[in-house]
Structure 1
Amino acid sequence: MPAAALKPKPLPVQSTAKRPVLLELPCAPVEKRPLPPGRPREWYVTHNRRLKAMRLAIALLDSGVYHPSQARNDTIHGAAELIGVHPPSDTTCHMVRALMRYSR
């Protein structure tokens, strides 16, 4: 008996070409909640700056900027304009590069 006859047949595999594959599902934004009252003003400023830096870092990564050395201030300002947020300060740009550095 030939050896090929002894091998079990592979299970049928469904090709993904026959149906569309969704890589990113659109998602609804998270419901906004008020920030906790009673904190010092600096806490709110820092909190909002971190959120903005995170949004910008994600936008840069989505656009193909993967290294902090590629994320110059003008690149970050372009990403801010693209996603519709106010132009970031130099401190926020520095924070964006730090987020990209530490995510590796």
Structure 2
Amino acid sequence: MSVATKTAHIDHVHVASTRRPLPAGRPRSWYILHNRRRKAMRLAIALLDSGVYAPGYATDRKIRTAAEAAGVRQPSEATCELVRTLLRQHR
């Protein structure tokens, strides 16, 4: 008896709310981390919408495919790891 694999396609993309300017006066590293977290959150939402709920199934390839579908630049390895961390915290 074989198990059929179910592939979910992203039929819609979470639309980000209107952007507000970031607060001034913070160190550059804060802005980099903040933007990485926003990107990771957007990708995590796209993965959850497509049916990927466990971090073990969120491979770099799936995360990068979700980024393509969401219209986001290709994430780095650090961002992919942050996406998996967010999915782990979801559970």
Structure 2 segments unaligned to the other structure (5+ residues)? 1-13
Report deviation, 1:32. 1.5
Change (3 A) 1:59 1:41: same
Based on CA coordinates, which of the two structures has the bigger radius of gyration?
A: 1
Name the structure 1 match of 2:49. Answer: 62
Write the mapping of 1:20-35 to structure 2, written as runs, cut at 5 A.
29-35=16-22
User: What is the TM-score normalised by the length of structure 1?
Assistant: 0.71
Q: Secondary structure at the match of 1:43?
A: helix
User: What is the TM-score normalised by the length of structure 2?
Assistant: 0.81
Between 1 and 2, higher relative CO (CA 8 Å, sep ≥ 6) is seen in: 2
Structure 1 segments unaligned to the other structure (5+ residues)? 1-26
Name the structure 1 match of 2:9. Answer: none
Name the structure 2 match of 1:94. Answer: 81
Runs (4 or more) in structure 1 with deviation over 2 Å come to: 27-31
Identical aligned residues as a percent: 59
From 76, 84, 92, the equivalent of 2:71 is 84
